[in-house]
Amino acid sequence: MHPRDQTIFALSSGRAPSAIAVVRVSGAQAGLVLTTLAGKLPVPRQASRRLLRDGAGQPIDDAVVLWFPGPASATGEDIAEFHVHGGRAVLAALLAAISDIPNTRAAEPGEFTRRAFENGKLDLTEAEGLDDLIHADTDRQRRQALRQLQGLLGDRARDWRERIIEASALIEAGIDFSDEGDVPAELRAPAVKAIKALHDEITKVLAAQGHSERLRDGLVVAIAGEPNVGKSTLMNQLARRDVAIVSPHAGTTRDVIEVSLDLDGYPVTVIDTAGIRETDDPVEQEGVRRARARAEDADLVLWLAEGEGPVGPEAMRSLGKSEDHRPGGSVWIVRNKIDLGGAGGAEPAGEFGISASRGDGIPELVDALVKFAANFFGTTEGALVTRARQRDLLRQASDSLRRSLDLVEEGEELAAEELRAAAYALGRLLGRVDVEDVLGAIFQKFCIGK
């Protein structure tokens, strides 16, 4: 039997031990699995309490079972669910009993969702939204992923594709009636109008500057500066816990330390880097190299310094920044140890005075980071595109529509071919044509049991 025809099963809840564990079974043998272990099929979509027994008749657990006959199920196939106590021994016994039934096997990562996709229960944009929802760390990421899962982009793409096909039908009808005098011109005019409208709509979506893709990846903030200026202490203040070793000795931080934060719903990764200085220590040299590399790639650098003196151009050069850098951009100057009589009071734009040890000035710095994140991510509430794959295919569709407008006066055949290319790109976006090469890359990132 082909693996795709086999019945799959997996633990779909968190790792054991837990209060309750959910084991899902999907495929043609799901009903047999349920009757073998629970005695008989329950009423569809109604929870029933059953004593589960293995093939030898030995009790496994007192459980709740559910039955979802296909195609009205999450995967489009027959599905059985077992809600059992989440002990390791219980799960081991249940999974062993299921695997003893012929033509059943453990599911691969993302296989439940892939079967749902293949059975038309969701398109590829919705599957990507589900993946984003599973991996969402903040509330804003969750809301964006949920909109995709509910078909925000997929519904628009299906509408665009249908309208392209309608315009293509008019163009191709003009080809069929090319010997009828003014008939092609009468058909061409509404087609051109529809194509222009489609091109304008997709172009506006592409002009959203990738805010939604940024929200998926998060904002990267690097804390940099010379050794022993309080970088690790600031890192601990932002994280509100001890994530970095704090020592009065210079060069304590040798590697890059990262911590993920949720700042007002915005995902932010803060990086504590090694002190940037010249050194003969080969280990510290590697730490400095990594620090410079991460600072260059960061969206924002907090350059930590002591005292009120100007930060020289060598600091900007060490971060890969230009000497004509203006404060308030991608590098902020953070002056530490104001409790010792250093910087304090009103600060210039892009400069902050703090005491990393006492916490003075930290709330103001965090507020500024939240505002920076809000400006960085922009408005994502109505954004359609959340992945580079989606943007690339929409750009292909837009380019094909533009070329069809340029070619329609030269010949309907050329314009019709470009319209077919635009419809094909949207079909790939939805996962309905020629997407086998991307399916594995997408679904293998899912959890087993999803």
Binding residues: 24, 81, 121, 228-233, 247-253, 272-275, 450
What strands, in cross-sheet order, belong to the sheet with 257-263? 257-263, 266-272, 219-225, 300-306, 331-336, 351-353
CB 171 within 8 A of CB 187: yes
CB 132 within 8 A of CB 380: no
Q: What is residue 447's DSSP assignment?
A: P
| φ, ψ at 443 (rounded to 5°) | -75, -25
For strands 18-26 and 48-53, give the pairing.
unpaired
In terms of DSSP H, where are the helices of 119-269? 124-134, 139-149, 152-176, 183-206, 211-217, 231-239
Neighbours of 259 (CB within 10 A): 17
Residue ranges of the annotated binding site for (6S)-5-formyl-5,6,7,8-tetrahydrofolate are 24, 81, 121, 450
Compute CA 374 distance to the chain's CA centroid, rounded to the nearest angstrom.
18
Q: Which two tokens stand for residue 164?
A: 């392209």
Residue ranges of the annotated binding site for GTP are 228-233, 247-253, 272-275
Residue ranges of the annotated binding site for Mg(2+) are 232, 253
